[in-house]
Every structure is written in C-alpha cells, then in structure tokens.
Amino acid sequence: MVIVMKQNTPVDELEQLKARLRQMGFDIHLSQGENHTVIGLIGDSTRIDESQLQANPFVDRILRVQHPFKRASRMFHPEDTVIDLDGLKLGGGNTLIIAGPCSVESEEQLMTIAQQVKAAGAHLLRGGAFKPRTSPYSFQGLGLEGLELLRRAKELTGMPIVTECISVDTVDLVAEYADVVQIGARNMQNFALLKKVGQIDRAVLLKRGMSATIEEFLMAAEYILAEGNERVILCERGIRTYETYTRNTLDISAIVAIKELSHLPIICDPSHAAGKWEMVTPLAKAAIAAGADGLMVEVHHRPEIALSDGSQSLKPERFHRLVAAVNQIIGLNKSMVH
C-alpha cells in the first residue's frame, strides 16, 4: 500500500503517522521527492482501515500496489532514482556509457583499451576478472590479478570501474576494487549473492537473466533493495528466444516497461544481446531512443585474439562512432515532446 501525502504536510504530522504505522507492524519506505512525499508500506496491508487513514487531513491519496515488488516500484518512489558514481550521475535524464573488454587479459590489453574508450567518450570502464563461462575449459578470468589491473586502469584514466562478482565469498574482495559490482545474467536469481550485494556500500549493476520475465527481474532487484542497498542499476542484455541468428534477442520493450514500472535506472548491453559486432551500434541507438539511461558496450583493440567475446567486441574506432551517434540521439530525446 502507498500513502501519498499532501505537499504541505508538516514534518511532525508525517513523523506521527510513520510511528503509528510502524507500531502496527509495517516496514516503511519513505520517498521524499520534489513533488511528492510518499509512504510505502511493506507488510500485510489487508488489515488496514483505509477510511481511518483517509480521515487524516494530510493524506492526499491511498493506493493499493498490485505488484509483488515494492521498493523497486515507481508507486513507492515516483521520481527517478539518480545514482552518483564518483561524481558521475546515472538516471533521471543523465545518460552514462560503460565500455571495455569482456575480460581483463593483461596489463597491455587493459591499459590500451581503457585509454581508447576514455578518449572515445566512455564514462566508466568495464572488464571481467571473474568470468562466468558456459564451459569449464574456457578462460575463467585473472581473478585478483585482474582486479589489481582494473585498479591501475582507474588510476591511469580516472574512470570508475564496473566488474562482475560471481560468488558470495568474493563480494567483499570485488567491492574493494569496484565502483559498481556487476551481477551477471547467470546469477540474476542467485538469492544468496543478491542478499550479500544488498549489504555492501557499492552500486550494483544487475543484468537480466536469460529467461527472466520483467517481474522476475524486478523481484531480483527487490532482494538487493530489501537489504538496504538502494543503488541498483538494471541492465537489459537480451533474452533467450527461438531465434538463433543473434546470440540473444534484445527486448527493447523491457526498457520501456521498466521505465514505467520502476524508478531504477535501466541501461542496455547491446553486445551480449547481438553476439555480433556489426549489430551493436544499431541496437545501442535503438535502446537509447527507447529511453535507456545508458549503455554497456564491449570493446577490444584486437578482437581477433580476445580471450572471450571477440565476435561481439567493437574496435575502439567503431566505438568512437557509436558514442557520436548515441550522443546525437540523446540530444534529440531531450528536444522531443513526450
């Protein structure tokens, strides 16, 4: 249940109401935006007498939330969440581009790509040190050595780091090096991992599971939010369908639906959606045109020898052109009437 308060509600009235609701056994989620003060109630609200609440002169409206996700819901938090990443803002009309190799492979590889994506206009650097690979015989990542290289790349370029965590026991280690901890598609419903990243002081980039519905995706975010970490970034990266021409099928409609259902920023990873570098720029443009808050793009200076995902990695000069095209669309979006 959501209680929308009137604009002029005095602080002590708000506090009194919150205290009463807490006494009744509810967990409270307060959202105080520029235009709204909303009290979100978590708990069994069937036993609430709505007419009693309506009698409070500072209560504007009472709404029943039908969705199973509460904290992730726009009803609980009408205004877009804006996430600050080392001074860079994401969400609420602020668009960011994350780029870098699929895996951290060597010092030479990472420093070269980091400098090139920065020069092309990327804001954050990505690179996997712990890789969730389908085959146990594929490159599994450099682990701690990869994290150390990411730290050096941040010192070199100033770019905040996005890197994946694949197990509960490495969350604290990864969080020491990462500005944003990525939870990959394969772990979207690893609930122990979601709870653990819900307890750290780092933003979390949560990728949509390959067969997850939008509701399951938002419920996964709810796990992180429920632990107290409100800095959740959602990422649409394509889902599995009957189509085999592309690696996955980019679900642009999920971006639009999530904008409506949730206040959390949603970005798009066109690289894992396409699986082919030729398709990455058109998909990136489509995602931004549809309202995505950002992109995560795989870039490699020598994709032909990449240890993972070379076929979907853009060369730096092509990535440069992607950024230029996307910036034009961002400009258009801003000038358009919605």
Residue 308 Cβ vs Mn ion, minimum distance, rounded to whole Å: 6
Residue 304 Cβ vs Mn ion, minimum distance, rounded to whole Å: 16
- The partner in contact with residue 236, picked from Mn ion, ligand PEP, none with C-beta cut-offs of 5 to 8 angstroms by kind, is none
**CA–CA gap between residue 6 and residue 226 (Å, rounded):** 27
Beta carbons within 8 Å of 179's beta carbon, 6+ residues apart: 85, 86, 124, 160, 161, 162, 202, 203
Residue 125 contacts residue 153 (beta carbons within 8 Å): yes
User: Cβ closer to ligand PEP: 196 or 207?
Assistant: 207
User: Cβ closer to Mn ion: 179 or 309?
Assistant: 309
Residue 308 Cβ vs ligand PEP, minimum distance, rounded to whole Å: 7
User: Cβ closer to Mn ion: 70 or 301?
Assistant: 301
Beta carbons within 8 Å of 14's beta carbon, 6+ residues apart: 5, 37, 39, 58
Residue 30 Cβ vs Mn ion, minimum distance, rounded to whole Å: 38
How far is the first Cα of the chain from the last one, in angstroms, to the nearest whole number?
A: 29
Residue 209 Cβ vs ligand PEP, minimum distance, rounded to whole Å: 9
- The partner in contact with residue 85, picked from ligand PEP, Mn ion, none with C-beta cut-offs of 5 to 8 angstroms by kind, is none
- The partner in contact with residue 222, picked from Mn ion, ligand PEP, none with C-beta cut-offs of 5 to 8 angstroms by kind, is none
**CA–CA gap between residue 271 and residue 312 (Å, rounded):** 6
- The partner in contact with residue 105, picked from ligand PEP, Mn ion, none with C-beta cut-offs of 5 to 8 angstroms by kind, is none
Tokens of 225: 């939010």
Residue 221 contacts residue 189 (beta carbons within 8 Å): no
State whether residue 119 is helix, strand or coil: helix
User: Cβ closer to Mn ion: 80 or 309?
Assistant: 309
| Bridge partners (DSSP) listed for residue 249 | 239
Beta carbons within 8 Å of 58's beta carbon, 6+ residues apart: 5, 6, 8, 9, 10, 13, 14, 17
CA 251 to chain centre: 15
User: Cβ closer to Mn ion: 222 or 309?
Assistant: 309
- The partner in contact with residue 185, picked from Mn ion, ligand PEP, none with C-beta cut-offs of 5 to 8 angstroms by kind, is ligand PEP
- The partner in contact with residue 259, picked from ligand PEP, Mn ion, none with C-beta cut-offs of 5 to 8 angstroms by kind, is none
User: Cβ closer to ligand PEP: 175 or 183?
Assistant: 183
- The partner in contact with residue 165, picked from ligand PEP, Mn ion, none with C-beta cut-offs of 5 to 8 angstroms by kind, is none
User: Cβ closer to ligand PEP: 39 or 297?
Assistant: 297
User: Cβ closer to Mn ion: 16 or 138?
Assistant: 138
Q: State the residues that interact with ligand PEP by CB under 6 A.
A: 102, 128, 132, 184-186, 207, 237, 269, 272
C-alpha separations of 140 from 188, 205, 250 in Å: 19, 20, 26
- The partner in contact with residue 72, picked from ligand PEP, Mn ion, none with C-beta cut-offs of 5 to 8 angstroms by kind, is none
Q: State the residues that interact with Mn ion by CB under 5 A.
A: 102, 309
**CA–CA gap between residue 266 and residue 292 (Å, rounded):** 6
List b or e across 94-105, with b for residues whose CB sees 16 or more CB atoms inside 10 angstroms: ebbbbbbbbbbb
The CB-side HSE value for 235 (13 A sphere, CA atoms) comes to 33
Residue 114 Cβ vs ligand PEP, minimum distance, rounded to whole Å: 16
CA 179 to chain centre: 13
Residue 313 Cβ vs Mn ion, minimum distance, rounded to whole Å: 8
**CA–CA gap between residue 150 and residue 154 (Å, rounded):** 6
For residue 23, which amino acid is it? Q
User: Cβ closer to ligand PEP: 21 or 129?
Assistant: 129
- The partner in contact with residue 78, picked from ligand PEP, Mn ion, none with C-beta cut-offs of 5 to 8 angstroms by kind, is none
Residue 309 Cβ vs Mn ion, minimum distance, rounded to whole Å: 4
Residue 11 Cβ vs ligand PEP, minimum distance, rounded to whole Å: 44
> Shortest Cβ contact with ligand PEP: which residue?
184
Residue 273 contacts residue 246 (beta carbons within 8 Å): yes
